[in-house]
């Protein structure tokens, strides 16, 4: 972590505005912003144009944590906390991960929001309990300002929220402006709180990214469809599923293997009976430009006859208990020890384990899934590691619990990058995460259930992650646990195709769930939605370029219009999340905007609620963007883009297309990319470079151009290239 200047130099330097014996006032941005600090008792407030935006109600260091009997803090129980008041705000969001509403609820009627990474199987819905990951970022929003509070602490944390208008009282009626009171409480550490002033959502996202990192640009295949199951039985099973997608003309790019692919749950090994030739399996997939992902968890089977375990033990790479002995817990292999990823030496050693010379049977087309890395300890308190376990540097586990999975994710990513000599982009999915995980790869919402309520809750869960900077996220299609009915499965595919990470996954106790096993009608519906996803891959890839460079998330909120959300700036999505629905109502934003149905090209005026019959096509398009799309097919098909221009009432349209080789770091190291801007104005469609940087030669062609919203038939169409007329 590092401190950075979040404001451009044009805002002016921080200067002392006023000083007394009890306080000091700082100002910046030419006096627009002020910070007032009182030292006894300590108090601060932040103002914009003389109006208080945020102040604290007193900062405390209390002794009010109740420790479980299994833990013993050497310095005694302790905690840190702070009360903050957000003036003028009545809506706050963020604090993933919880299976709860998009807007955070007032906690006076129940438990506070908890940030404590845990393995929660079939997690309860509309709960404030902690799940697999934690991002201590809260975002407050009102029409003229977006404000963020980032509480940098990796220990167990509780957040209480009180809205001033939660209950109408005489005092609240007298109070003209709303306010939201927030109480932060962490078990250990120090107060390290950053306030992000925005004022726009885009500026806040950029400020947060400067602190914690920008979203990694994934390899293009990672934005396609992924097929996973716990577990595909053997190599023949994998090849059969792979052939099934071809036979049913359903595009996909990645097939996954869970823990049963290993030799006795020993990671970095292969079952010698069921996966005797893993390299040949990967080569079979790679001939079709498809990839294989395998699971790699943080627990290591205690086995003195296994060289990897002995190497980790002898080099001191395991977490220790409070007595100084190697900590042992139980997980999938049985008795296990846990790698201490807080140690840079351990991370470097683990990274080297992914080398092609060490990981026998691996090839460059093998990628990785980090699971159970909260960490999950079946024999531990709340199925996790005891808080008094000891890490490198004598840090107790309580101090860095929420960082454990983040550090494994980091080491795995570095391992794949090193494997390629620093040339190729990695793909690593992690179940556990923390602030900054976006710069490493993808996450998902964990062990969900095959019912309609879990489909519905997946939308706010993914949007909350996007709001907190983790753009590459999604929920398992169909639910990990139990068996979905056909209608639920189709609706889930429709919703998940509009989320960044798109994976079908199911547990070993469920029925097989490949898309063609539910009859011709369901197969056709799933085929259509996956093909639609592939047709929009150039658009998705461009959105991830924006996230990577400017921190704009691909999924964007339509506040006061939930469950609708934007995919980028051009697609309005409203997924169907209830059974038997024959019609949905969608509020089209913007009374001065025009909307087009993505399939029928029917035009609708914004600023009204539209009733639409429910079909497989439930996405509308914004009015003033250019959408790059690709004809249906898998990634091995050459790029041929139809270009769709959607005219605004003023007859204009605008959009971008980003291209690179889709897999390497050449876009970064050698500026090997192409960023083109498409603009429609006064009857002319222009395609020009959108950046002075970037040179990229490719076989991409624009195959056709569709312009919607033309009020009269053109008398002629003329095409110019390099200043010369080439078609009339």
Question: Which residues are the active-site residues?
Answer: 371, 374, 447
Strands 42-48 and 51-60: antiparallel
Q: Which residue has the tokens 């905690």?
A: 79
User: To 10 degrees, what angle do helices 486-496 and 452-467 make?
Assistant: 10
Residue 725: Cβ within 10 Å count: 9
DSSP 423-486: -B---EEESS--TTGGGT-EEE--S-BSSHHHHHHHHHHHHHHHHTT--SEE--BT-SBS---H
Per-residue exposure over 381-407, b if at least 16 CB sit within 10 Å of its own CB, e if not: eebbbbbbbbbbeebbbbbbbbbbbbb
Cα 688 to Cα 303: distance, rounded to the nearest angstrom = 61
Residue 486: Cβ within 10 Å count: 14
- Residue 567: CB partners within 8 Å, gap ≥ 6? 498, 539, 543, 554, 555, 556, 573, 619
Cα 270 to Cα 274: distance, rounded to the nearest angstrom = 8
Phi, psi of 478 (to 5 degrees): 85, -10
Q: Which residue has the tokens 């005891």?
A: 386
- Contact between 639 and 657 under an 8 Å Cβ cutoff? The reply is no
User: To 10 degrees, what angle do helices 486-496 and 520-535 make?
Assistant: 0
- Residue 420: CB partners within 8 Å, gap ≥ 6? 364
Using DSSP's 3-state secondary structure scheme, residue 36 falls into strand
What separation in angstroms does the CA of 95 have from each of 135, 265, 430?
6, 34, 18
Give Cα 188 distance to the centre of its chain.
Answer: 27
Using DSSP's 3-state secondary structure scheme, residue 408 falls into helix
What separation in angstroms does the CA of 478 have from each of 481, 567, 695?
9, 21, 42
Cα 208 to Cα 198: distance, rounded to the nearest angstrom = 10
Of the chain, the end-to-end C-alpha distance in Å amounts to 58
Q: Which residue has the tokens 């531990």?
A: 380
- Contact between 606 and 593 under an 8 Å Cβ cutoff? The reply is yes
DSSP 74: T
- Contact between 435 and 469 under an 8 Å Cβ cutoff? The reply is yes
* Sign of the torsion formed by the C-alpha atoms of 377, 381, 386 and 387: positive
Cα torsion for 311, 317, 319, 322, to the nearest 10°?
90
- Contact between 156 and 186 under an 8 Å Cβ cutoff? The reply is yes
Question: What Rg value do the Cα atoms of the chain yield, rounded?
Answer: 26
* Sign of the torsion formed by the C-alpha atoms of 42, 46, 47 and 53: negative
- Contact between 224 and 217 under an 8 Å Cβ cutoff? The reply is no
Cα 320 to Cα 215: distance, rounded to the nearest angstrom = 33
Using DSSP's 3-state secondary structure scheme, residue 414 falls into helix
- Phi/psi-derived region of residue 451, left when phi > 0, alpha when psi is between -120 and 50, beta in every other case: beta
């Amino acid at each position: 972590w590092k401190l950075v200047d979040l404001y451009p130099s044009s805002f002016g330097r921080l200067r002392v505005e006023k000083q007394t014996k009890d306080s000091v006032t700082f100002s910046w941005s030419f006096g627009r912003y002020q910070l007032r600090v009182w030292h006894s008792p300590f108090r601060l407030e932040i103002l914009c144009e003389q109006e208080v935006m945020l102040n604290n109600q007193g900062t405390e260091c209390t002794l009010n944590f109740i420790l479980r009997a299994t833990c013993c803090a050497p310095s005694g129980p302790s905690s840190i906390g702070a009360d903050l008041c957000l003036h003028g705000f009545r809506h706050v969001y963020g604090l993933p991960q919880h299976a709860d509403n998009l807007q955070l609820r007032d906690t006076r009627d129940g438990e506070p929001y908890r940030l404590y990474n845990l393995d929660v199987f079939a997690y309860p819905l509309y709960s404030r309990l902690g799940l697999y990951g934690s991002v201590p970022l809260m975002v407050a929003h009102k029409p003229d300002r977006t404000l963020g509070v980032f509480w940098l602490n990796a220990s167990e944390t509780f957040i209480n929220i009180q809205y001033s208008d939660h209950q109408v009282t005489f005092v609240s009626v007298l109070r003209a402006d709303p306010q939201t009171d927030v109480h932060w409480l962490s078990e250990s550490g120090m107060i390290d709180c950053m306030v992000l002033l925005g004022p726009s959502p885009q500026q806040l996202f950029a400020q947060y990214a400067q602190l914690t990192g920008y979203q990694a640009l994934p390899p293009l295949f990672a934005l396609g469809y992924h097929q996973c199951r716990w577990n595909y039985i053997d190599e023949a099973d994998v090849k059969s599923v792979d052939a099934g997608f071809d036979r049913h003309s359903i595009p996909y790019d990645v097939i996954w293997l869970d823990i049963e692919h290993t030799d006795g749950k020993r990671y970095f090994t292969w079952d010698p009976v069921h996966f005797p030739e893993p390299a040949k399996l990967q080569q079979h997939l790679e001939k079709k430009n498809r990839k294989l992902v395998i699971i790699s968890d943080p627990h290591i089977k205690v086995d003195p006859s296994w060289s990897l375990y002995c190497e980790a033990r002898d080099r001191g790479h395991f977490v220790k208990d409070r007595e100084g002995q190697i900590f042992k817990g139980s997980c999938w292999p049985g008795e296990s020890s846990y790698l201490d990823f807080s140690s840079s030496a351990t991370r470097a050693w683990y990274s080297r384990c992914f080398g092609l010379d060490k990981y026998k049977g691996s090839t460059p087309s093998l990628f990785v899934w980090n699971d159970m890395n909260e960490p999950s300890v079946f024999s531990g308190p709340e199925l996790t590691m005891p808080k008094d376990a000891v890490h490198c540097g004598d840090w107790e586990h309580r101090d860095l619990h929420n960082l454990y999975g983040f550090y494994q994710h980091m080491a795995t990513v570095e391992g794949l990058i090193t494997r390629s000599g620093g040339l190729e982009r990695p793909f690593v999915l992690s179940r556990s995460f923390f602030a900054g995980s976006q710069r490493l790869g993808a996450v998902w919402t964990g062990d969900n259930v095959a019912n309609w309520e879990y489909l519905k809750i997946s939308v706010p869960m993914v949007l909350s992650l996007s709001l907190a900077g983790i753009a590459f996220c999604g929920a398992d299609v169909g639910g990990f646990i139990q068996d979905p009915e056909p209608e639920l499965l189709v609706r889930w595919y429709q919703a998940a195709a509009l989320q960044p990470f798109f994976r079908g996954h199911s547990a070993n106790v469920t029925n097989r769930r490949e898309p063609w096993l539910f009859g011709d009608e369901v197969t056709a519906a799933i085929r259509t939605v996956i093909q639609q996803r592939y047709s929009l891959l150039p658009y998705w890839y461009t959105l991830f370029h924006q996230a990577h460079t400017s921190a704009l998330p691909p999924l964007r909120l339509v506040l006061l219009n939930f469950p609708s959300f934007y995919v980028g700036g051009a697609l309005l999505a409203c997924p169907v999340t209830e059974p038997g629905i024959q019609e949905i109502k969608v509020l089209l934003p913007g009374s001065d905007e025009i909307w087009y149905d993505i399939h029928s090209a029917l035009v609708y005026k914004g600023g009204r609620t539209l009733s639409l019959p429910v079909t497989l096509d439930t996405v509308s398009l914004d009015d003033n963007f250019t959408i790059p799309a690709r004809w249906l097919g898998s990634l091995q098909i050459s790029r041929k883009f139809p270009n769709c221009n959607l005219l605004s009432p003023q007859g204009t349209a605008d959009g971008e297309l980003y291209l690179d080789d889709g897999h390497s770091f050449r876009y970064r190291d050698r500026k090997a990319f192409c960023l083109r801007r498409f603009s429609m104005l006064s009857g002319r469609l222009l395609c020009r470079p959108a950046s002075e940087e970037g040179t990229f030669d490719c076989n991409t062609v624009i195959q056709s151009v569709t312009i919607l919203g033309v009020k009269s038939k053109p008398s002629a169409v003329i095409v110019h290239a390099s200043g010369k007329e080439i078609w009339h």
